[in-house]
Amino acid sequence: MKEQMLPFAFSKGEIAITRAISDHKYSSIRDLSNFMGKSASSISQTVKSLETKGVIKTKRKGMKKLMEISDRNYALSLQEMFRSEPYVPWEKLISNLNIAVLFRNLTGEESFEYGISPVSLWRARRNLSMHGMYFTSPEKQSAGNRNLSRFIVEFSDHVSREYLAEKLPGDAITIWRSGYRCLFKRRDYSRKVAEKPLIDTFPTALTVSSDYGIQLMTSDSYYYHEPNLNKLDIEDVILHTLLIDPESQTYSTYALLLAFKNKRKIDMNLLIDKSRKYKLVDRTRNFVKYIKSNGKTREWPLPDQKELQEQADLYYHPLSSLKKPSLVRAL
């Protein structure tokens, strides 16, 4: 069964027309029709699609609609890629599902491949590999074709922004995003407004701290969105707390309070493994070292033991059946 085309993906015809416009600035629909040997109606439909994607822009001159490459960064990079390497069969390489594979391959972001079958992914990777466009790491991909890399990075960023702008509520403030994944916050008053439920989105970080025995007060509500997400674990909640501001001692302290209060529930290896997709590996390793060393191995922005104990005395849930422990003894 043929998979549905991704909304941001280019068809081969769109790539061909973009290349033609790149080489022939201010072409009209009739010019392109004559040059490419296609009907004016077919060209017009493709041009509208390319305008929607932000790749080209049009202007009227009398009765004619003239086209040129838009001034968006990814569109200009695409034009430069075509001009620098005109003999590469770009219509085959960056069309349809191939572009999602390139997004993942270069940015490392797995969510760009959500919804694509394993068989289709295998075919796309094989096709790209045959042309030397698929590598085992983003570093090799970047070195392999810098023009392509620049376009993919810029266009994938645009696709990420567009996707989240459509999915998230209008008052959402993005804290962190990567591909189709996002950590965002909202003011509490937004809860009073009737709205459609957010799919694949869960409250996290400080918003759920009371569920884990920590009574934190905040005027913001924090949420995490990821396609096909079923639930969040304590490891996710801790990482999202760090992700609010990785350089902040305040949020590092809140994350430590969550960790100490729920130490028996946390898998430290899983915590480090999950940190990779947030690019928090170094921060998380230091976080784990702090816990295992009773706070003796400490790097900024982690607090000293005394400061952490003071915060624990202040924030541990007063209704907890457990007594407020000494963090040092608890370790």
**How does DSSP classify residue 213?**
T
- Is there a single domain that holds both residue 105 and residue 245? no
Q: Are residues 208 and 111 in the same domain?
A: no
> Is residue 51 one of the residues assigned to a domain?
yes
Whether residues 261 and 183 share a domain: the answer is yes
Model pLDDT, residue 317: 53
Number of structural domains found in the chain: 2
On average, the pLDDT of the chain sits at: 86
Instruction: Please state the rounded mean pLDDT for residues 138-163.
Output: 81
CA distances 20 to 30, 31, 43, 62, 76, Å, are 13, 10, 11, 22, 14
Residue 6 belongs to some domain of the structure: no
| Rounded Cα distance, 287 and 9, in Å | 40
pLDDT 10s digits, 184-195: 999 875 454 444
Q: What is the mean pLDDT of residues 167-185?
A: 94
* Residue 54 domain boundaries: 12-159
Q: Are residues 19 and 138 in the same domain?
A: yes
Tens of pLDDT, residues 8-66: 899 999 999 999 999 888 888 888 989 888 898 999 999 999 999 999 998 887 778 88
| Bond before 169 cis per omega within 30 degrees | no
Residue 242, domain member (yes or no) = yes
The answer to whether 203 and 162 have CB atoms below 8 angstroms apart is no
User: Does a structural domain hold residue 135?
Assistant: yes
Give the model confidence (pLDDT) of 278-291 as tens digits. 999 999 999 999 99
| 7 part of a folded domain | no
Note the pLDDT of residue 63.
76
Q: Is residue 166 part of a domain?
A: no
One domain for residues 177 and 133: no
Same domain, 104 and 189: no
Q: Provide the pLDDT for residue 137.
A: 58
Q: What is the pLDDT of residue 193?
A: 42
